[in-house]
Amino acid sequence: MKQGLFVGLTTLDLIYQAAQLPDRNQKIVATDYVVSAGGPATNAAIAFRHLGNQATVLSVVGAHPMSHLILTDLREQEVHLADLHPTRSEPPPVSSIIVTQATGERAVISINTVNTPASPDQIPSQILQDIDIVLIDGHQMAVGRSLAQQAHSRNIPVVIDGGSWKSGFDSVLPFVTYAVCSANFHAPGCHSETDVISYLSDFNIPYIAITHGEKPITYRDRAQIGQIPVPTIPAVDTLGAGDIFHGAFCHFILHTDFVNALEQSAQIAAHACQFFGTRRWMEEG
């Protein structure tokens, strides 16, 4: 059984399914709803655990009453939390999401870690002991940078979830093994996907992938560049698909090569998009 460390954001997600988004001053009634822990690193950790591994989330959750909803969900998912600020009394970050029933598209309003920054001196000692892979989502950049450097020095592979560019990512990139980014990852001075791949390659990152939702994944495996098609599915909910992709990737890359890991991760993410919420793909499929 492999062990993964997932560094970054944990939120409380309030997810609603509705026929349409509300108009101005309009009230609508949801057709379904889910309350769960969320955030890129957290959803990835849960997917990694579901695939038969042990997962630890390094994040800020705290001791607010709403934090207990997150803690309960993580316990149910058998994911360990290493809390960077366990006595914090303020509410955890909350995301409110509306998923459009007909298309699976989602609209999100949230607070990220801007109000919950942590510093490297809050990292638990021995956090990297027996860890096989580290994922960093960029939401606790100072902590992520410190751990990426430590992991790199120990030959532990480091994955970044590049959902979007975040200030300070350039300080993490020199220690990255796998940069798995979305098409929204607009690095400084980059105006095209080619520019992004070139930018990341300048940091000597050997493995780079850029996802495009339902469109093919572009990858660079050292000197080889190619594309990987993704499954065509009837999407019910695309929320968290990228996070689940990253969690699956952390699992598969410990067992196979880069291209196969991307292919298998795309299968998992596509399967997850056929269920409402970020958990039911595990329960019903």
Contact 145, 225 (CB under 8 A): no
Contact 40, 75 (CB under 8 A): no
Structure tokens that stand for 4 in this block: 């993964």
Contact 166, 139 (CB under 8 A): yes
What residue spans of 56-119 are helical by DSSP H?
67-76
Q: H/E element holding 258?
A: helix 258-272
Q: Where exactly are the structural domains of the chain?
A: 3-10+39-92+113-284
In order along its 285 residues, the chain shows pLDDT tens digits of 999 999 999 999 999 999 999 999 999 999 999 999 999 999 999 999 999 999 999 999 999 999 999 999 999 999 999 999 999 999 999 999 999 998 888 899 987 766 678 999 999 999 999 999 999 999 999 999 999 999 999 999 999 999 999 999 999 999 999 999 999 999 999 999 999 999 999 999 999 999 999 999 999 998 899 999 999 999 999 889 999 999 999 999 999 999 999 999 999 999 999 999 999 999 875
- What is the 3-state secondary structure of 14-62? EEEEECCCCCCCCCCCCCEEEEEEECHHHHHHHHHHHCCCEEEEEECCC
CATH 1.10.579.10 assigned to 3-10+39-92+113-284? no
Residue 283 CB contacts under 8 Å (≥ 6 apart), including other chains: none
